[in-house]
Amino acid sequence: MSVDKKFLKKLLSGLVDRNLRFEDLRKLLRDFGFQERIKGSHHIFFKSGIEEIINLQPLENGKAKPYQVKQVRNLILKYKLHKGVADV
């Protein structure tokens, strides 16, 4: 799968944490090669070579929780996952 460059730029900008759709964030993590496990409303993402586990829950309006968006952004920057995507 290919990473949505436009969405990744939005995420990395840090300006729209409150307005990102949960499904878009979920798709981005899967596109980066994360595996997903679902238990109730908790979507747990993990990937070999990455210590942290990301736990996401959607808000009722279908948006991602802002603090979880920040966690995903920090993880992408820490492991330089965005370096493999051109023009980001």
Residue pLDDT, tens place only, 53-64: 999 999 999 999
SS3 sequence of the chain: CCCCHHHHHHHHHCCCHHHCEHHHHHHHHHHCCCEEEEECCEEEEECCCCCCCEEECECCCCEECHHHHHHHHHHHHHCCHHHHCCCC
Q: Which domains does the chain have, with CATH numbers?
A: 5-79 (3.30.920.30)
Kindly state the average pLDDT of the residues 55-81.
97
pLDDT digits 0-9 by tens, 25-58: 999 999 999 999 999 999 999 999 999 999 999 9
pLDDT of residue 1: 59
pTM of the model: 0.93
